[in-house]
């Protein structure tokens, strides 16, 4: 919806991650990939900067630095 509203895919991803953490005053613990921060992330099979719908092309999910087993 953010991209449909006029944001670039990069702007939408930053707003949904680091921007959201900053608004909730959690940016010291999460929201970006840095040493010492909580590491939840998705590994994608396609570049979301070219097409935001590529965020649905999930290769793996990592929670607290641990890969989740493949889910159906």
| Mean of the per-residue pLDDT values of the chain | 90
Q: What pLDDT is recorded for position 72?
A: 61
Q: Is residue 57 part of a domain?
A: yes
Element (H, E) at 10: helix 9-14
Instruction: Look up the domain containing 63 and give its range.
Output: 9-67
Total domains, the chain: 1
Q: Which two tokens stand for residue 12?
A: 């939408």
For the full predicted model, state whether its pTM sits above 0.75.
yes
Token reading at 35: 């040493």
Q: Is 4 inside any structural domain?
A: no
- The neighbour count for residue 12, using CB atoms within 10 Å, is 21
Which residue, 38, 42, 34, 12, is CA-closest to 26? 38
Alpha-carbon distance of 6 to 1, in angstroms, equals 9
pLDDT grade for 38, boundaries at 50, 70 and 90: confident
Q: Count CB-CB contacts under 10 A for residue 51.
A: 13
6 pLDDT higher than 90: yes
């Amino acid at each position: 919806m953010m991209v449909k509203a006029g944001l670039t895919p990069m702007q939408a991803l930053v707003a949904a991650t680091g921007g959201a953490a900053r608004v909730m005053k959690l940016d010291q613990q999460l929201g970006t990939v840095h040493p010492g921060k909580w590491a939840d992330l998705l590994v994608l099979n396609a570049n979301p900067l070219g097409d935001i719908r590529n965020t649905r092309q999930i290769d793996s999910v990592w929670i607290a630095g641990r890969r989740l087993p493949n889910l159906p």
